[in-house]
Structure 1
Protein backbone atom coordinates (compact mmCIF):
# COMPACT_ATOMS: atom_id res chain seq x y z
CA UNK A 1 0.00 0.00 0.00
CA UNK A 2 1.25 3.46 -0.87
CA UNK A 3 2.24 6.00 1.75
CA UNK A 4 -0.47 8.71 1.82
CA UNK A 5 0.26 11.38 4.48
CA UNK A 6 -2.93 12.72 6.00
CA UNK A 7 -1.73 16.35 6.16
CA UNK A 8 -1.56 16.74 2.38
CA UNK A 9 -4.07 17.31 -0.42
CA UNK A 10 -3.99 15.26 -3.64
CA UNK A 11 -4.89 15.75 -7.30
CA UNK A 12 -6.36 13.00 -9.47
CA UNK A 13 -3.20 13.27 -11.60
CA UNK A 14 -1.22 12.06 -8.53
CA UNK A 15 0.39 15.29 -7.35
CA UNK A 16 0.42 16.12 -3.65
CA UNK A 17 0.08 19.62 -2.18
CA UNK A 18 1.34 20.89 1.18
CA UNK A 19 0.17 24.32 2.33
CA UNK A 20 3.08 26.34 3.75
CA UNK A 21 2.95 29.05 6.43
CA UNK A 22 3.83 31.77 3.91
CA UNK A 23 0.74 31.07 1.79
CA UNK A 24 2.56 29.11 -0.91
CA UNK A 25 2.09 25.41 -1.60
CA UNK A 26 4.77 22.80 -2.13
CA UNK A 27 4.00 20.25 -4.86
CA UNK A 28 5.42 16.84 -5.69
CA UNK A 29 4.25 13.50 -7.01
CA UNK A 30 2.74 10.93 -4.70
CA UNK A 31 4.41 7.78 -3.47
CA UNK A 32 1.92 5.85 -5.62
CA UNK A 33 2.98 7.81 -8.73
CA UNK A 34 6.73 7.43 -8.17
CA UNK A 35 6.28 3.72 -7.48
CA UNK A 36 4.31 3.30 -10.71
CA UNK A 37 6.98 5.13 -12.71
CA UNK A 38 9.95 3.24 -11.31
CA UNK A 39 13.46 4.65 -10.88
CA UNK A 40 13.56 8.28 -11.98
CA UNK A 41 16.53 9.35 -14.11
CA UNK A 42 15.55 12.95 -14.92
CA UNK A 43 13.25 15.70 -13.60
CA UNK A 44 12.47 18.84 -15.60
CA UNK A 45 11.14 21.55 -13.30
CA UNK A 46 9.11 24.56 -14.44
CA UNK A 47 10.46 28.10 -14.88
CA UNK A 48 10.47 30.23 -11.73
CA UNK A 49 8.07 33.20 -12.03
CA UNK A 50 6.08 31.35 -14.69
CA UNK A 51 2.34 31.14 -14.23
CA UNK A 52 0.38 27.90 -14.36
CA UNK A 53 -3.28 26.99 -14.60
CA UNK A 54 -4.78 24.13 -12.58
CA UNK A 55 -4.41 20.92 -14.56
CA UNK A 56 -1.67 22.34 -16.82
CA UNK A 57 1.41 20.19 -17.51
CA UNK A 58 4.32 22.16 -16.06
CA UNK A 59 7.09 19.66 -15.27
CA UNK A 60 8.30 16.29 -16.51
CA UNK A 61 9.62 13.24 -14.67
CA UNK A 62 11.44 10.56 -16.64
CA UNK A 63 12.04 7.03 -15.45
CA UNK A 64 13.68 4.07 -17.04
CA UNK A 65 10.15 3.06 -18.11
CA UNK A 66 8.62 6.30 -19.42
CA UNK A 67 8.35 10.08 -19.28
CA UNK A 68 5.36 11.54 -17.51
CA UNK A 69 4.01 15.06 -17.17
CA UNK A 70 3.55 16.66 -13.76
CA UNK A 71 0.46 18.86 -13.61
CA UNK A 72 -0.14 21.99 -11.57
CA UNK A 73 -2.80 21.04 -9.02
CA UNK A 74 -3.75 24.73 -8.57
CA UNK A 75 -3.37 27.95 -10.56
CA UNK A 76 -0.66 30.38 -9.54
CA UNK A 77 2.92 31.51 -9.98
CA UNK A 78 5.96 29.24 -9.65
CA UNK A 79 8.06 30.77 -6.85
CA UNK A 80 10.66 28.02 -6.40
CA UNK A 81 11.79 24.68 -7.80
CA UNK A 82 13.85 21.91 -6.28
CA UNK A 83 17.29 22.38 -7.85
CA UNK A 84 18.56 19.24 -6.08
CA UNK A 85 16.57 17.15 -8.56
CA UNK A 86 18.88 18.10 -11.44
CA UNK A 87 21.68 16.03 -9.92
CA UNK A 88 19.59 13.65 -7.82
CA UNK A 89 16.23 12.84 -9.48
CA UNK A 90 16.09 9.69 -7.34
CA UNK A 91 15.06 11.89 -4.38
CA UNK A 92 11.53 11.70 -5.80
CA UNK A 93 11.71 7.90 -5.38
CA UNK A 94 13.37 7.83 -1.96
CA UNK A 95 11.57 10.77 -0.30
CA UNK A 96 8.58 11.86 -2.43
CA UNK A 97 7.00 13.94 0.36
CA UNK A 98 10.23 15.51 1.63
CA UNK A 99 13.46 16.08 -0.29
CA UNK A 100 11.74 14.94 -3.51
CA UNK A 101 9.38 17.94 -3.81
CA UNK A 102 9.26 19.48 -7.29
CA UNK A 103 7.94 23.06 -7.11
CA UNK A 104 6.39 25.76 -4.95
CA UNK A 105 3.43 27.78 -6.17
CA UNK A 106 1.96 31.05 -4.91
CA UNK A 107 -1.70 30.15 -5.29
CA UNK A 108 -4.08 32.53 -7.10
CA UNK A 109 -7.14 31.31 -5.16
CA UNK A 110 -6.53 29.58 -1.80
CA UNK A 111 -10.10 28.19 -1.94
CA UNK A 112 -8.99 26.03 -4.90
CA UNK A 113 -7.18 23.78 -2.41
CA UNK A 114 -10.58 22.66 -1.14
CA UNK A 115 -11.25 21.07 -4.54
CA UNK A 116 -8.36 18.62 -4.07
CA UNK A 117 -8.73 15.23 -2.39
CA UNK A 118 -7.84 14.57 1.22
CA UNK A 119 -5.79 11.47 2.11
CA UNK A 120 -8.84 9.20 2.60
CA UNK A 121 -10.33 10.22 -0.75
CA UNK A 122 -6.98 9.76 -2.50
CA UNK A 123 -6.48 6.28 -1.02
CA UNK A 124 -9.95 5.33 -2.25
CA UNK A 125 -9.16 6.86 -5.67
CA UNK A 126 -5.94 4.88 -6.16
CA UNK A 127 -7.56 1.67 -4.93
CA UNK A 128 -10.30 2.07 -7.57
CA UNK A 129 -7.74 3.00 -10.23
CA UNK A 130 -5.66 -0.11 -9.42
CA UNK A 131 -8.76 -2.32 -9.71
CA UNK A 132 -9.72 -0.86 -13.08
Structure 2
Protein backbone atom coordinates (compact mmCIF):
# COMPACT_ATOMS: atom_id res chain seq x y z
CA UNK A 1 0.00 0.00 0.00
CA UNK A 2 2.80 2.39 0.91
CA UNK A 3 4.55 1.48 -2.34
CA UNK A 4 1.40 2.41 -4.33
CA UNK A 5 1.28 5.85 -2.71
CA UNK A 6 4.97 6.50 -3.45
CA UNK A 7 4.59 5.31 -7.05
CA UNK A 8 1.50 7.47 -7.52
CA UNK A 9 3.31 10.51 -6.11
CA UNK A 10 6.29 9.96 -8.43
CA UNK A 11 3.99 9.61 -11.46
CA UNK A 12 2.13 12.77 -10.45
CA UNK A 13 5.41 14.71 -10.17
CA UNK A 14 6.58 13.41 -13.58
CA UNK A 15 3.24 14.33 -15.16
CA UNK A 16 3.40 17.85 -13.70
CA UNK A 17 7.00 18.26 -14.92
CA UNK A 18 5.99 17.11 -18.41
CA UNK A 19 3.11 19.58 -18.54
CA UNK A 20 5.36 22.44 -17.40
CA UNK A 21 7.96 21.48 -20.05
CA UNK A 22 5.38 21.41 -22.86
CA UNK A 23 4.02 24.80 -21.80
CA UNK A 24 7.53 26.30 -21.65
CA UNK A 25 8.45 25.01 -25.13
CA UNK A 26 5.17 26.28 -26.56
CA UNK A 27 5.54 29.75 -25.04
CA UNK A 28 9.30 30.07 -25.77
CA UNK A 29 10.03 28.43 -29.13
CA UNK A 30 13.65 28.31 -30.27
CA UNK A 31 14.43 31.12 -32.65
CA UNK A 32 16.87 29.22 -34.86
CA UNK A 33 20.31 30.32 -35.93
CA UNK A 34 21.26 33.98 -35.79
CA UNK A 35 23.58 35.17 -38.55
CA UNK A 36 24.04 37.67 -41.37
CA UNK A 37 24.45 36.70 -45.01
CA UNK A 38 27.12 38.79 -46.76
CA UNK A 39 27.93 38.29 -50.44
CA UNK A 40 29.12 39.97 -53.62
CA UNK A 41 27.64 39.51 -57.08
CA UNK A 42 29.25 40.17 -60.43
CA UNK A 43 27.63 41.21 -63.69
CA UNK A 44 23.97 40.30 -64.17
CA UNK A 45 23.56 39.75 -60.42
CA UNK A 46 25.29 36.36 -60.49
CA UNK A 47 27.94 34.89 -58.23
CA UNK A 48 30.62 35.02 -60.90
CA UNK A 49 31.93 37.26 -63.68
CA UNK A 50 33.55 39.55 -61.13
CA UNK A 51 35.52 42.54 -62.50
CA UNK A 52 38.93 41.09 -61.65
CA UNK A 53 40.81 42.01 -64.85
CA UNK A 54 40.59 45.68 -65.74
CA UNK A 55 42.55 48.19 -67.79
CA UNK A 56 43.72 51.46 -66.29
CA UNK A 57 40.77 53.88 -66.06
CA UNK A 58 38.17 51.16 -66.59
CA UNK A 59 35.18 50.97 -64.24
CA UNK A 60 34.33 47.77 -62.41
CA UNK A 61 30.75 47.06 -61.34
CA UNK A 62 29.50 44.66 -58.71
CA UNK A 63 26.76 44.32 -56.11
CA UNK A 64 27.19 43.80 -52.37
CA UNK A 65 24.40 41.95 -50.58
CA UNK A 66 23.49 41.74 -46.91
CA UNK A 67 20.63 39.66 -45.46
CA UNK A 68 19.71 40.09 -41.80
CA UNK A 69 19.02 36.67 -40.24
CA UNK A 70 19.82 37.90 -36.71
CA UNK A 71 16.17 37.44 -35.61
CA UNK A 72 15.83 41.16 -34.80
CA UNK A 73 16.48 44.60 -36.29
CA UNK A 74 20.24 45.09 -36.68
CA UNK A 75 22.46 48.02 -37.66
CA UNK A 76 25.54 47.53 -39.82
CA UNK A 77 28.56 49.51 -41.00
CA UNK A 78 30.00 48.50 -44.39
CA UNK A 79 33.48 49.47 -45.63
CA UNK A 80 35.10 48.61 -48.97
CA UNK A 81 38.82 49.20 -49.53
CA UNK A 82 41.10 48.65 -52.50
CA UNK A 83 44.75 48.35 -51.45
CA UNK A 84 43.90 50.12 -48.20
CA UNK A 85 42.14 53.05 -49.91
CA UNK A 86 38.51 53.44 -48.87
CA UNK A 87 36.13 53.18 -51.84
CA UNK A 88 32.85 53.00 -49.94
CA UNK A 89 31.47 53.25 -46.43
CA UNK A 90 27.90 53.44 -45.15
CA UNK A 91 25.82 52.72 -42.07
CA UNK A 92 22.34 51.19 -42.40
CA UNK A 93 19.74 49.23 -40.44
CA UNK A 94 17.92 46.09 -41.60
CA UNK A 95 14.81 44.60 -40.05
CA UNK A 96 14.53 40.85 -39.42
CA UNK A 97 15.00 38.93 -42.72
CA UNK A 98 15.42 42.16 -44.73
CA UNK A 99 17.82 42.12 -47.71
CA UNK A 100 19.86 45.07 -48.96
CA UNK A 101 21.78 44.98 -52.25
CA UNK A 102 24.15 47.87 -52.89
CA UNK A 103 25.70 48.55 -56.31
CA UNK A 104 29.39 49.47 -56.26
CA UNK A 105 31.12 51.10 -59.22
CA UNK A 106 34.86 51.62 -58.86
CA UNK A 107 37.56 52.89 -61.19
CA UNK A 108 40.90 51.15 -61.76
CA UNK A 109 43.33 53.98 -60.99
CA UNK A 110 46.58 52.09 -60.39
CA UNK A 111 48.19 49.36 -62.46
CA UNK A 112 49.29 46.18 -60.75
CA UNK A 113 48.53 42.53 -60.13
CA UNK A 114 46.57 41.06 -57.21
CA UNK A 115 45.32 44.36 -55.81
CA UNK A 116 43.39 43.46 -52.68
CA UNK A 117 39.75 44.56 -52.50
CA UNK A 118 38.30 44.06 -49.01
CA UNK A 119 34.63 44.13 -48.07
CA UNK A 120 34.23 44.52 -44.30
CA UNK A 121 30.87 44.35 -42.53
CA UNK A 122 30.58 45.44 -38.91
CA UNK A 123 27.58 44.63 -36.73
CA UNK A 124 26.96 47.76 -34.68
CA UNK A 125 27.48 48.97 -32.04
CA UNK A 126 30.87 47.16 -32.45
CA UNK A 127 32.73 49.07 -35.17
CA UNK A 128 36.18 47.75 -34.29
CA UNK A 129 35.85 43.99 -34.89
CA UNK A 130 34.86 42.94 -38.41
CA UNK A 131 31.74 40.73 -38.23
CA UNK A 132 31.86 39.41 -41.81
CA UNK A 133 34.45 39.95 -44.54
CA UNK A 134 35.01 39.12 -48.18
CA UNK A 135 38.13 39.55 -50.32
CA UNK A 136 38.63 39.83 -54.06
CA UNK A 137 41.83 40.45 -56.04
CA UNK A 138 41.95 42.83 -59.01
CA UNK A 139 44.49 42.89 -61.86
CA UNK A 140 44.88 46.24 -63.64
CA UNK A 141 46.92 46.65 -66.86
**Larger RCO of the pair (alpha carbons < 8 Å, separation 6+):** 1
Higher helix proportion: 1
Q: What is the TM-score when the length of structure 2 is the normalising length?
A: 0.26
The structure richer in strand per residue is: 2
Q: Which has the larger radius of gyration?
A: 2
